[in-house]
């Protein structure tokens, strides 16, 4: 296990950054998706792992 820093940047500019000790960067991304307190519904989301862009997600649904 090694540390991976995951950063979510929402389309409105809000961010959440956490570090996880996981087997790989995709595992860290999945843990962040499951545990982030940053509401994601209705916002586009850009995901970085260790500073590298790994995914850009379109907005789905309406904000809670």
pLDDT in tens, 16-41: 999 999 999 999 999 998 998 888 78
Enclosing domain of residue 27: 2-57
Token readout for 36 is: 């982030």
pLDDT at 1: 94
Strand pairing category for 2-10 and 52-57: unpaired
Number of compact structural domains in the chain = 1
On average, the pLDDT of the chain sits at 91
In a domain, 62, yes or no: no
- Residue 35, helix vs strand vs coil: helix
In a domain, 63, yes or no: no
Q: Is the dihedral of CA 17, 23, 29, 35 positive or negative?
A: negative
Q: CA angle, 21 as apex, 14 and 8 as ends, to 5°?
A: 15
Burial class (CB in 10 A: 0-12, 13-18, 19+), 33: middle
């Amino acid at each position: 296990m090694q540390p991976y820093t995951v950063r979510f940047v929402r389309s409105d500019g809000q961010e959440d950054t956490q570090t996880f000790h996981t087997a790989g960067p995709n595992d860290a991304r999945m843990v962040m998706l499951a545990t982030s307190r940053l509401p994601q519904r209705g916002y586009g989301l850009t995901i970085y792992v260790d500073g590298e862009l790994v995914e850009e997600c379109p907005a789905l649904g309406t904000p809670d």
